[in-house]
Amino acid sequence: MPALDRPAAVPREGGGPLPRSRRPDAPGRTSVVTSVDHALTLLAALADHPSLAVRESAALLGVAPSTAHRLLTTMQRSGFVVQDPATRRYGAGPALVAVALASLQRIDVGRVARPHLAALAAETRETVSLAVAEGTTVRFIDSVEGTEVVRVSSRTGVSVPAHSSAAGKAILAGLGRDELLRLYPATRLQRRTQQTIGSRTQLMRELEEVRRLGYATSLEESEPGLASVAVGVGDVRGRVIAAVSISVPAERLDPRRTERIVVAARRRAARIEAELASPDLR
């Protein structure tokens, strides 16, 4: 069957080591890489140990205690570790816990959403996907193709700028102004097509409209001929952590069809949220 908008190939993981640059690393760069490696080693160690002392950390890394102390102090300032005032030992900090929870949430939302994506695809006959944010981009982590003869192909693995996609706008609309300004410090935005939002001001206006309507659309903004509708999926604290997106050939998405798709998508998103809030997942 013919399909529309086949995603570009995504480089596979494990495709072999990248070639080394022939130019030797600068001393400063080597130092930074070593520090990052040491920090990651300590974070990994906290998976097996509830806390670490400075001397234990130094022995683990093979460095002087003073070096380990400086590294732990830096990690503490970033919130990745905290120090117990009584024992002077270091444990997992709020930033590390947040990363772990975000990873678990992604696993949970993907597992919970799968049957709802399939049901929505069957109901709308269009391709339905689940997307999550990765900075200023969104990645489609699961997708169920529709049954129409001419349809959008699976989006799984595709990554696009958030401001150019309905899924991205649905997620961005859940952020506050300060968070958006941190994500988009520049006033001009990358344009993928003639229809793509090209400025931060225009994006802010559109996100206000998304909040008012409760859904987002993209009309040939990420790819010519591709339209999409998306609704956000919130966690138990009300944060938008993902989006359910329905992708449609642009000529097939008129206002009446958009309305029907939005109703169905909201119903499925609400069920996903209810299951995520279930005590079985907490």
Gap between the Cα atoms of 204 and 210, Å rounded: 10
Per-residue pLDDT of the chain (282 residues; tens, 9 = 90+): 444 543 333 333 334 443 433 444 444 555 656 777 887 788 788 777 778 899 998 998 999 999 999 999 888 888 888 888 888 899 887 776 555 555 545 557 888 999 999 999 999 999 999 999 888 999 898 999 999 999 999 999 899 999 999 999 999 999 999 999 999 999 999 999 999 999 999 999 999 999 999 999 999 999 999 999 999 999 888 889 899 999 999 999 999 999 999 999 999 999 999 998 876 655
* Per-residue confidence (pLDDT) for residue 166, from 0 to 100: 98
* Per-residue confidence (pLDDT) for residue 163, from 0 to 100: 97
Gap between the Cα atoms of 173 and 177, Å rounded: 10
DSSP class per residue in 145-208: --SSSSEEPP-TT-EEEGGGSHHHHHHHTTS-HHHHHHH--SSB---SSTTS--BHHHHHHHHH
Q: Domain 27-92: which topology?
A: Arc Repressor Mutant, subunit A (1.10.10)
* Per-residue confidence (pLDDT) for residue 239, from 0 to 100: 87
Q: What CATH number belongs to 102-281?
A: 3.30.450.40
* Per-residue confidence (pLDDT) for residue 164, from 0 to 100: 97
Residue extents of the structural domains in the chain: 27-92, 102-281
Give pTM, 2 decimals: 0.66
* H helices, E strands: number in the chain: 8, 10
